[in-house]
Structure 1
Amino acid sequence: MRLRNKNWTKDFIEENLKFLITTEEKINPTKFFLKKQDTFLEIGCGKGQFVINQAIENSNKNFIAMEKESTVIGVALKKALNKENFNLNNLLFLNRFAENLLDIFEVNSLKGIFLNFSDPWPKAKHYKKRLTYLTFLEIYWELLENNGIIEIKTDNDQLYNFSLDQIKESKFKVLYNTSDLYSNKDLLKDNIPTEYEQKFHSIGKKINKIIIKKEV
């Protein structure tokens, strides 16, 4: 669901540009974070619950929250800044579209990518827009370091099955996949839910999850 435009977000973002990556050059994450540590990208961070909590619980990792809608970036950034005792040293926001990631990031620059409840593009004619389409997987392969991982969550069964089919055609190795994440108590120990995930789970919708790895 598209978030309504909020007039305050434009000024709020301008006042807090130090928490955004705004360069037009290809991004090498080591140049933007205080600590030189593994960097993880969430494509489509939404209102930020997942990536903010990831950053809080994993201070030994860096995170980039990517979102195409500037209003949504503003909401997520405000949420992060309102977190008590969280100084944002390992989290930055990126207001860009994800279609041309190889033009945005340097190759082999990411340790992991999160695709949480991406747009399923349900019409058959739009299948190439799905973020788990083979062309996107090939791009992620280039962006990831060796042994880098991708974690995919979706409530959409069609997208889940489509993703598995595309992964079979890719170079990635499947580490884990389930059509019912909440039936696995062991995996839930370290699970950080998104806003959508909590909403769907609360109404009894099963959550699909896939973890894949780049091994050269």
Structure 2
Amino acid sequence: MTPEREAIIAAARSLFQRGLTHGSTGNLSVRVGDRVLVTPTGSSLGTVEAPDLSLIDLNGAHVHGPKASKEAFLHAALLRARPQANAVVHTHSTYAAAVSCMDGLDPQDALPPLTAYFAMRVGRLPLLPYFAPGDHGLERTAEDMARTHSALLLSNHGPIVAGATLGAAMDAIEELEETAKLFLLLQGLRTRPLTPEQRSALEPG
């Protein structure tokens, strides 16, 4: 097993065992040179194995192995937009998915900077318009937005995050989920997010 495959399987198990994915939802990818290893279609992150992983190119075209996730094109889009990124994590985690269904969110900044770690690991979180899972109509929008944002929230769907490493992408998507949880817990209560100055001092690159 290559280190990249081993890392994907370990991350997949971690996400599933902690309830950040369920059933056959969620997918992960890691850049390997000019190719991308990605979890396959219809797989559960709780049971996927290293030989099951698919290899695609940066245009999302299948290269080798089982058929890739129907959302593999999104992974390729984020990696094209962010040459410094080497991994992408997408989940349907409960709290972030719940926020993605809310009306009245700022499409440029869907979650407030409630904590310093959200500002550091996620930054601003754009809310993308709704597209059915696997709809390639989302590809251009996601790629354009990913040029300036490492994390995106897909309407009525869930979050997707690119990171310099798989560990960094995992940290960011977990921070996003916890902030979504806080946001929902605080509904109806007065909050005190970071000030614009505090936020700017912490936001990534």
* TM band (smaller chain): under 0.3
TM-score using structure 2 length: 0.27
